[in-house]
Amino acid sequence: MALRRILVGLVVFGVVSLSGVAAEKFIVASDVAWPPFEWVSAKGEKIGFDLDVMRMIAVLEGYEIEIQDIAFDSIIPAVIAGKVDIGASGFTITAERAQVVDFSSPYWTSDQTVVVRADSGLNVVTALLPGRKVGAQRGTTGAFWVEDNLIAQGVAVELVLYETYPEAVMDLLAGRLDAVIQDQAPSEQAVQQYAGQLTIVGIIKTYEEFGFLVAKGDPKGILPRIERGLKVLKETGAWDNLIAAYFGPSLEAVEAAWEACIDVLRVGKDPVAYAACLAQKVRELSK
């Protein structure tokens, strides 16, 4: 019986991988340490809002994707070098970046937030005084904001840059930083995860818009397909369900829901039903 199951499994696997050879495949680069946009679940799966959007559009547009976990500041160079096809990692559309890569239309808006330790007594002004140690992730608009609007203006905070966002949060918790500057949703996620230890003391209205990015000139013609996919997701309500599932609930609830629903997308190839399943499961688990 077990042997038969293995044989059936091998045949199925063989068919799937054979069809995989024929299908178009794009490599999606993401810095998978930035919940809720992308993170590695307790079971080792790469999940998150950006990654699910990429998976759902891939199903809609009939191509396959492979997600590669790459340091945030290395994603654009990898796209430029043609090592990967798509950057999906909460990239703010900026003029600097738009000179070297092409962006999709915006899919998210975000502001920067100032996170401090709850017991530090700092406020948004005192947290950013000269001499304060301020952490940010390398290559992010949060880091650029500190460089351009504090340091370049003569407010000599000490900017410490990290490879990943969780490392900055850990250093804040360890007392080696006074504040961390980061996009709103990941900051709220961190505050939720370390309830009582961290707090958001201020929102910096930067009005940033996130986009998916590809190589300059879009040589593989990916952007129109992403646009089409985004449009379908928004029109069918899948988009709203995805937002409801990922923004707000605890990571544990999202991970459990994702485990329960992902086959609807992977096997069932139905993005709309998948998003509905995810939203409903998360709601149930959050009660």
- Rule CB under 8 A: is residue 174 a binding residue for another protein? yes
Question: What is the amino acid identity at position 204?
Answer: I
DSSP 67-91: EEE--HHHHHHHHHTTS-SEE-S--
| Window of 54-62, 84-92, 174-182, 225-233 that interacts with another protein by CB under 8 A | 174-182
Residues 6+ apart with CB under 8 A from 266: none
Question: How far is residue 20's CA from residue 238's CA, in Å, rounded to a whole number?
Answer: 26
- Rule CB under 8 A: is residue 226 a binding residue for another protein? no
Selected from 167, 188, 259, 270, the binder of another protein by CB under 8 A is 167
Question: How far is residue 133's CA from residue 90's CA, in Å, rounded to a whole number?
Answer: 25
| Window of 24-32, 71-79, 120-128, 218-226 that interacts with another protein by CB under 8 A | 71-79
Nearer to another protein, 120 or 286 (CB): 120
- Rule CB under 8 A: is residue 170 a binding residue for another protein? yes
Nearer to another protein, 67 or 134 (CB): 134
Selected from 138, 145, 243, 273, the binder of another protein by CB under 8 A is 138
- Looking at residue 137, the DSSP 8-state letter turns out to be E
- Rule CB under 8 A: is residue 175 a binding residue for another protein? yes
92 and 141 in contact (C-beta within 8 Å)? yes
- Rule CB under 8 A: is residue 120 a binding residue for another protein? no
- How many whole angstroms from its chain centre is CA 214? 16
Q: Count of alpha carbons within 13 Å of 34, Cβ hemisphere only?
A: 28
- Rule CB under 8 A: is residue 77 a binding residue for another protein? yes
- Rule CB under 8 A: is residue 144 a binding residue for another protein? yes
Considering only residues 90 through 109, tell me which ones interact with another protein, judged by CB under 8 A: 96-97, 100
Selected from 27, 80, 232, 260, the binder of another protein by CB under 8 A is 80
- Locate 218 and state its tokens: 């879009």
- Rule CB under 8 A: is residue 161 a binding residue for another protein? yes
Question: How far is residue 55's CA from residue 173's CA, in Å, rounded to a whole number?
Answer: 34
Nearest to 155 by CA among 178, 127, 135: 127
| Residue whose pair of structure tokens reads 């709203």 in the numeric block | 240
- The count of residues interacting with another protein (CB under 8 A) is 23
Tally: H helices and E strands in the chain: 11, 12
Selected from 76, 128, 181, 215, the binder of another protein by CB under 8 A is 76
| Window of 23-31, 167-175, 206-214, 278-286 that interacts with another protein by CB under 8 A | 167-175
**Sign of the dihedral defined by the CA atoms of residues 96, 97, 100, 101, in that order:** negative
Nearer to another protein, 164 or 199 (CB): 164
Question: How far is residue 89's CA from residue 48's CA, in Å, rounded to a whole number?
Answer: 10
- Rule CB under 8 A: is residue 220 a binding residue for another protein? no
- Rule CB under 8 A: is residue 83 a binding residue for another protein? no
- Rule CB under 8 A: is residue 5 a binding residue for another protein? no
Q: Which residues of the shown chain bind another protein in the complex (CB under 8 A)?
A: 73, 76-77, 80, 96-97, 100, 138-139, 143-144, 147, 160-163, 167, 170-171, 173-176
